[in-house]
Chain A
């Protein structure tokens, strides 16, 4: 029989989600820092394969939690880390990264006005950094197949704790967490449904790029790790309803999570109520500390015009991903590619 043992290092402890029952048929996979899973897996694998020498500098372009996870793992590996970011990086995150010994380069604010914006300027600077050092390793979370593969451990935990999982709901950014977790669950449970939660004006599921208020999900560029054929259903939401749902998650369940968690919770709760015989798990990627002065601050919400934003009771079904049919829309993706969906083929599984 097994006994509980200690963690080898902090990053090992940080990556494990807690599975928490929210309703008889709804469970949360609550992460302290979900990006720890791919960051740790990618760096440890690269080290084991001899791709990170003692002199190798780890480089990555990021302004989010993936950089934080890399910085923590770089401490354990005793390697230098250079992160290329932009001026809009969260100041608290910046301080935490530099405290972990990471060098954070911010491309100049003027880059925002040039074609390609910060994204292009960051990639350009990243290339320069790589040229300046003899040996560099870039984890490339958006295209590295080891990102989704790292999530086998989450599928493992869900299967051991729950046995049956009928539906997984989660926010989509790089595609790693949802595609990885669901693909591995399907190796044992092939019929398990995947519901991706995106935000309007994100290119991930066929909408044209545009300004997005809600950070941490949705993208302006299509990540290689997003396998669209994993998804049965896609939902698009707005920032104010995500904020309101984040607060509800906190008030009703004591779960102190970030706004992408709120966005996923809103969809998962609706789906679980509509499907009482199915067991649903919702992915909650990070904690609420970074948002105490925003999502958790009523004055800030009021200044944004988001205080007491009404939560739509249910999504509006749209016939095309880009149909702007309201604050909360859904589309039956039916495990197709973007090309298949945009070719206008009618969704065969439109009626659930």
Chain B
């Protein structure tokens, strides 16, 4: 549903049009808690994932409208961002004073090619920037749908007010587990520091066998309970199960080291990026003494020569991110 912003009602001409810009933000993520194939409710199996958001990193897009041509600066992922901007602009055709084109400027601190969602963050920020320029607030689902159109496959960082099982190729929410993840701390690292990263455009989708498909069904139920009951231990077990299945498709160096480290420091499990190189140790933030274990794990990870990528801590349910110029 499109909601018109007050600014739209302001008399035009109060400011020169060329100074009007649109701004959008989007957070990064740290891979997934689960990725696999799940029943979409009609008996059809559908690729889907549960993203682990990382809100201290992200992309910012500024849209400078123009009546001439498109130009995009500040990002190597030109194709997707350009496609996202065009799709978003098309969405607002017929809206008062639409731009014909414009320029997108991306600023981002999301590492590329490690599975932290740099591309979706750029695309989502772009869609939000174009929407912002038009004074339109898009629903999270609409942003997700446009992001998938632009990217073919997108994670679900734009759905920032719920924990969802997101069909990343259809842009559809298969299930809402709850409003927020349980209180947890994730210590993340890049398992291939200095590597080439993963080219998500050419990465072949996993070919799961019948056993794995059954396991996903079980993991989905466990995740449902983990979110509903704030059970970090169960959530960690599900993440570990998904990480282990992923070993057949995109193995993580040092995974056994991380699993062992996690176990020795009373962690709950290890999550990975299923199309990237990052992995994270999951801890229950409520457990007394957890800070010491987290500190020891950070030291052990760095001691092994791996690069820290994240320190995600428990956070309360976050309201919809409102982006304004």
- How long is the Cα–Cα vector from A1 to B227 in the complex, in angstroms? 13
Q: Which A residues lie within 8 Å of B211 (CB)?
A: 149, 183
Interface size on B, residues (CB 8 A): 20
Q: Which of B215, B226, B234, B238 contacts A184 (CB 8 A)?
A: B215
Give the tally of cross-chain contacts (CB within 8 A).
52
**Number of A residues, CB within 8 Å of B:** 20
In the bound complex, do residue A152 and residue B219 qualify as a contact, i.e. CB atoms below 8 Å apart? no
A152 to B218, Cβ gap below 8 A? yes
Question: A187 to B241, Cβ gap below 8 A?
Answer: yes
Known contacts A156-B217, A157-B221, A163-B222: does B238 contact A188 (CB below 8 Å)?
A: yes
| Residue A25 at the chain B interface, CB threshold 8 Å | no
Contact status B231-A185, CB under 8 Å: no
Q: Which residues of A contact B229 (CB under 8 A)?
A: 163
Residues of B within 8 A of A155 (CB): 218
Taken residue by residue from 166 to 202, chain A's Cβ proximity to chain B (1 for < 8 Å, 0 otherwise) reads as 0000000000000000011101110000000000000
The docked-state distance in angstroms from the alpha carbon of A152 to that of B36 is: 15
Q: Is A109 an interface residue (CB 8 A)?
A: no
Q: Are A187 and B234 in contact (CB under 8 A)?
A: no
Q: Is the interface of B mostly helix, strand, loop or mixed?
A: helix
**Is A153 on the interface with B (CB-CB < 8 A)?**
yes
Query: Is B222 a contact partner of A160 (Cβ separation < 8 A)?
Result: yes
Chain A hits for B93, CB < 8 A: none
Interface membership of chain B positions 88-110, coded 1 if the CB is closer than 8 angstroms to chain A and 0 otherwise: 00000000000000000000000
CB atoms of B176 and A1 under 8 A apart? yes
Contact of B237 among A1, A145, A152, A189 (CB under 8 A): A189
Q: Indicate which residue in A145, A149, A160, A164 contacts B221 across the interface (CB closer than 8 Å).
A: A160
The B-contacting residues of A in range 178-233, CB under 8 angstroms, are 183-185, 187-189
A189 to B231, CA, bound (A): 14
Residues of B within 8 A of A163 (CB): 222, 225-226, 229, 231, 234
In the assembled complex, B224 has its CB within 8 A of some CB on chain A: yes
Asked if B214 is at the interface of the complex by the 8 Å CB criterion, the answer is yes
Knowing A1-B176, A149-B210, A163-B222, say if A188 contacts B237 (CB, 8 Å): yes
A146: which B residues are within 8 A, CB to CB? 210
Q: Which residues of B contact A187 (CB under 8 A)?
A: 215, 218-219, 241
Question: Bound state CA distance, A188 and B219, in angstroms?
Answer: 7
Q: Which residues of B contact A342 (CB under 8 A)?
A: none
| B268 CB to nearest chain A CB (Å) | 12
| Most chain B C-beta atoms within 10 Å of own C-beta, residue among A152, A157, A161 | A152
The proximity string for B residues 64-104 relative to A, scoring 1 for CB distances below 8 Å and 0 otherwise, is 00000000000000000000000000000000000000000
- Give, as a whole number of angstroms, the nearest-CB distance from A40 to chain B: 13
Determine if B217 and A152 form an interchain contact, defined as CB atoms under 8 angstroms apart: yes
